[in-house]
Structure 1
Amino acid sequence: MKKYLSHYRALVMLGTPLIIGQIGVVLQNFADTLMIGHHTTVELAAASLVSNIFILGLLMAMGFALCMTPLIGKAYGQGDVASIGSTVKNGLAVNTLAALVLMAVYTVLYFFLDKLGQPDELLPYVRPYYLINLVSIPFVCWVNGLKQLFDATTDTKTPMWILLGGNALNIVGNWLLIYGHCGFPEMGITGAGLSTLAARVTMFVAIALCFAFSGRHRGERAAFRKSRVCRGEMRSLIVLGTPISLQMGMESGAWSLCSIIVGWIGTNALAGHQIMLTISQLFFQFYYALASAVSIRVSHFHGQHDYTAIRRTAWAGCHLNFMIAILVSVPVIIFREQMGFLFTSSPKVAAEVASAIVPLIIYQFSDGLQCTFSNAMRGLAYVKPVMLVAFLSYFVVSLPLAYLFGISLHGGLVGVWFSFPFGLTIAGVLYYYFYHRRLLSLEKTE
């Protein structure tokens, strides 16, 4: 284990701000779910539907930000500041294009919300919340793009503080606008949407100002000014980002489409599903943030052609994620009967949550495994297989099983959630296989 000690230490140092920042992202959704749930159960179900519709597109758009990390990280490892500046400028152009496409798609979808087979009582709450989320899309994409510059150059603390500040602003805004405190009108779910929009705009302004005036990034900023938006480089980023986008979209899509399946079961099941997604996303952010640190360090070592360090970094990240899986699982199992009441006062919804905790715990190790090695592949800029693995794991395996267990076999919400361990385990094993094969190929070539 001694050979991993330095990598454990480096990953913890680099990954801790990423974990805190990612938790801040989840806490924004957590706060919305918690505070909307204590307003009305119907609004909680409406928020669940909208959130799961938008998370699919936003995660797909994030793929075009995450593709910047291996390029910036590799250039950082080689000391190539000019390439960093060019990647950031063209990456922001690609992310702007992704935001425009996403907004166009969601605008069309807005006119078909009543055709999704959801309870009619949800639509008056869904529509305004949906439109507010639509407006916020470009700000999310721009923050994601600029964040890659800071993260890939090991400045992970700056985005952490920005994300935490945005989360705090969102919570205060929720308190004022959902419940109508301090003279503000009681707006319920619409107030939650406006608060989230304000937080996202503020985060973009903050991260843009940090890039514009930070002394640490003076060199990258000068290179950014000198570089130009180039069709060839944009095309390269799109080619690299598309598999990541499709991977994240299909992974998230399985959960989002499952939300529609759960909606066929009933409003209480859908509200419980939203609570379970919030808990699951909190766990996932630990794994994903640490795996992002793996991706960053792998990209640095890739630029230096140090393949032994790449292998040790990936396994060190896997060990740490397994440890996290144990730490998060124990308290949730112990307090599973009480978890639902953190979000709602409805005993029926809390019972749905308690029943779905068991499959959630079962797949934690698989989730840590697939996070680590998919991100190790991203650090190597080897991303074509990830979309095929995601399609097989989530659409061929998880989604049909969710319908089979939840609807055909009348398993309800817990049946739907028992489909996830199967897909995530297959994903983890296949990501490791492709990562290992790629690393062997690079070592032989070297």
Structure 2
Amino acid sequence: MAKKFSLFALTWPIFIELTLHMLTGNADTFMLSQYSDESVAAVGVANQLLFMFIVMFGFVATGTSILIAQYAGANDEKTASRIGAVSIWANVLFGLMLSFALVVGGNWLLQLMNVPSELTADAHAYLRIVGGFSFVQAIIMTIGAILRSHGFTKDIMNVTIGVNILNIIGNYFVLFGPFGLPVLGVEGVAWSTTISRMIGLVIGFLLIMKRLPHPLPLLSKEAFSFAYVKQLLKIGIPSAGEHVAYNTSQLVITYFITLLGTEALTTRVYTQNLMMFIFLFSVAIGQGTQIIVGHLVGAQRFNEAYARCLKSLRLAVIISFTAAALFSLFSDHLFSIFTSNKRMIEAGGTLILLTMILEPGRSFNLVIINSLRAAGDVKFPVYIGIASMWGVSVPLAYVLGIQLDLGLVGIWLAFTADEWLRGLLVYWRWKSNVWRTKSFIKKEATA
């Protein structure tokens, strides 16, 4: 019998955790905006690159979430713990490799993105420090996946609270120099982010040792089992493919925005910081739903899984539209927190207005794709994602934003078309019930 989970009990800690992540990002942006608008743009571009690499860490974490949820649903905690141990070591190795790549190739990547010369030094400093220690984030993601799959979403929330508080305090010291301390600017913010994450990593390991029903065999030969690695990769790589396609397409579109100038780039950063608060409702609902669907599929309770996804979808669409409408109503005040530039405030307000159409479409993707993955149907979202992001979003952003000179408005229209196309296609996939044949537990049992 699958463990009984409440969507609300799982989702509210995820929501708080995501809110804190967003607040930290906004706190970084707000604090940096007091330092200079150029530093905001520099960190925004560097983070765009870092997000792409962090998402690549996610292929192990995604595979971990799906397998552990299904095995836990099937009451096989011993196998679930083995998979957890393997996933941690896999992301340690992969994280170190990508951290090295960011340190060595960071400047080249910034040049490839056509980053304005006045932003390059700060962007490279941030990328070198935060990127060089990105393996820490890779391990944290894996620990979070393990704990969430067992339903311990409150623990991850508490860790996030602590890490974010430390990061904000660190930012204050390095940007404003109290007590005569030196002002370190962007480089100081990078170290603040890195050190706070390291502390969170230590706490995460302590929680894993305390909470799990079966201890992780981290130092046994099972932790290096290639058979389990193959299982993780079989699910995780296709799942990561959709994320990689999204983030690489976003990098190309960021390049388009650099053609519009530093002001447009900074407006995009401010707008995205606000948009995160809108779609985090759907992200939280999608992640909570993934845990429940994974357990239900592992227990072969497919009808309940089917109904759970659709109920979550309705909730996410309603909440995201309402949040977007509220943000649009107060957009001038919200953008004024970050900047006094009237052109940026006006442009950002228009983008938030368009977000009222964009975000419900994104809700389809965030909820249904998570449910498809939880059921083991991981390849279809990748195929649809690559086709839509690169066949619709990227070319449409260039045509509307650059060639037709609609600027950021044209690029936002391209985002909207992409989200709705993908959203309707994955909705059709869920309604088709093909995912019922993809359960990893079911396949293994009948092999």
Bucket of the pairwise TM-score, normalised by the shorter protein:
over 0.9
C-alpha contact 2:99 2:133 (8 A) present in aligned 1: no
- In the alignment, the residues of structure 1 paired with residue 385 and residue 93 of structure 2 have an alpha-carbon distance, to the nearest angstrom, of 24
C-alpha contact 1:339 1:354 (8 A) present in aligned 2: no
- In the alignment, the residues of structure 2 paired with residue 174 and residue 186 of structure 1 have an alpha-carbon distance, to the nearest angstrom, of 10
3-state SS of 1:265 partner: coil
Matched to 1:109, the amino acid is G
Superposed CA offset, 1:372-396 (max 9, x none): 1100011112101121111112111
Instruction: Report the Cα offset of residue 225 of structure 1.
Output: 5.6
3-state SS of 1:258 partner: helix
1:46 equivalenced with 2:42 (yes/no): yes
C-alpha contact 2:377 2:435 (8 A) present in aligned 1: no
- In the alignment, the residues of structure 1 paired with residue 50 and residue 230 of structure 2 have an alpha-carbon distance, to the nearest angstrom, of 25
Matched to 2:91, the amino acid is N
- In the alignment, the residues of structure 1 paired with residue 251 and residue 162 of structure 2 have an alpha-carbon distance, to the nearest angstrom, of 28
1:220 equivalenced with 2:214 (yes/no): yes
Superposition pairs for residues 24-423 of structure 1, below 5 Å? 24-112=20-108, 113-212=110-209, 214=210, 216-217=211-212, 219-221=213-215, 227-423=222-418
Matched to 1:176, the amino acid is F
- In the alignment, the residues of structure 2 paired with residue 387 and residue 122 of structure 1 have an alpha-carbon distance, to the nearest angstrom, of 34
C-alpha contact 2:282 2:367 (8 A) present in aligned 1: yes
1:22 equivalenced with 2:18 (yes/no): yes
- In the alignment, the residues of structure 2 paired with residue 57 and residue 179 of structure 1 have an alpha-carbon distance, to the nearest angstrom, of 30
C-alpha contact 1:38 1:345 (8 A) present in aligned 2: no
- In the alignment, the residues of structure 1 paired with residue 112 and residue 315 of structure 2 have an alpha-carbon distance, to the nearest angstrom, of 44
Identity %, equivalent residues: 22
TM-score (norm 2): 0.93
- In the alignment, the residues of structure 2 paired with residue 346 and residue 192 of structure 1 have an alpha-carbon distance, to the nearest angstrom, of 24
Change (3 A) 1:442 1:387: closer
Change (3 A) 1:246 1:441: closer
Bigger mean CA offset, 344-353 vs 220-229: 220-229
- In the alignment, the residues of structure 2 paired with residue 127 and residue 303 of structure 1 have an alpha-carbon distance, to the nearest angstrom, of 45
Instruction: Report the Cα offset of residue 100 of structure 1.
Output: 2.7
- In the alignment, the residues of structure 2 paired with residue 68 and residue 340 of structure 1 have an alpha-carbon distance, to the nearest angstrom, of 39
- In the alignment, the residues of structure 2 paired with residue 276 and residue 256 of structure 1 have an alpha-carbon distance, to the nearest angstrom, of 16
- In the alignment, the residues of structure 1 paired with residue 178 and residue 268 of structure 2 have an alpha-carbon distance, to the nearest angstrom, of 29
Aligned counterpart, 1:428: 423
- In the alignment, the residues of structure 1 paired with residue 94 and residue 25 of structure 2 have an alpha-carbon distance, to the nearest angstrom, of 22
- In the alignment, the residues of structure 2 paired with residue 260 and residue 331 of structure 1 have an alpha-carbon distance, to the nearest angstrom, of 30
- In the alignment, the residues of structure 1 paired with residue 123 and residue 438 of structure 2 have an alpha-carbon distance, to the nearest angstrom, of 50
C-alpha contact 2:33 2:339 (8 A) present in aligned 1: yes
C-alpha contact 1:43 1:189 (8 A) present in aligned 2: yes
- In the alignment, the residues of structure 1 paired with residue 28 and residue 228 of structure 2 have an alpha-carbon distance, to the nearest angstrom, of 38
3-state SS of 1:67 partner: helix
- In the alignment, the residues of structure 2 paired with residue 145 and residue 275 of structure 1 have an alpha-carbon distance, to the nearest angstrom, of 29
- In the alignment, the residues of structure 1 paired with residue 153 and residue 397 of structure 2 have an alpha-carbon distance, to the nearest angstrom, of 37
**RMSD between superposed Cα atoms in Å:** 2.1
- In the alignment, the residues of structure 2 paired with residue 137 and residue 383 of structure 1 have an alpha-carbon distance, to the nearest angstrom, of 26
C-alpha contact 1:74 1:303 (8 A) present in aligned 2: yes
C-alpha contact 1:23 1:286 (8 A) present in aligned 2: no
Instruction: Report the Cα offset of residue 162 of structure 1.
Output: 0.3
Superposed CA offset, 1:198-217 (max 9, x none): 111111111111112x1x42
Instruction: Report the Cα offset of residue 283 of structure 1.
Output: 2.3
3-state SS of 2:354 partner: helix
C-alpha contact 2:293 2:374 (8 A) present in aligned 1: yes
Bigger mean CA offset, 385-394 vs 279-288: 279-288
Count, aligned residues:
436
- In the alignment, the residues of structure 2 paired with residue 360 and residue 148 of structure 1 have an alpha-carbon distance, to the nearest angstrom, of 29
Superposed CA offset, 1:234-277 (max 9, x none): 12211211111111122233333222211110111000011112
Matched to 1:210, the amino acid is L
Aligned counterpart, 1:4: none
Runs of at least 5 residues in structure 2 that lack an aligned partner in the other structure: none
C-alpha contact 2:294 2:374 (8 A) present in aligned 1: yes
C-alpha contact 2:11 2:285 (8 A) present in aligned 1: yes
Instruction: Report the Cα offset of residue 136 of structure 1.
Output: 2.3
Runs of at least 5 residues in structure 1 that lack an aligned partner in the other structure: 1-6
- In the alignment, the residues of structure 2 paired with residue 128 and residue 142 of structure 1 have an alpha-carbon distance, to the nearest angstrom, of 23
Instruction: Report the Cα offset of residue 28 of structure 1.
Output: 2.0
- In the alignment, the residues of structure 1 paired with residue 427 and residue 382 of structure 2 have an alpha-carbon distance, to the nearest angstrom, of 14
Change (3 A) 1:295 1:343: same
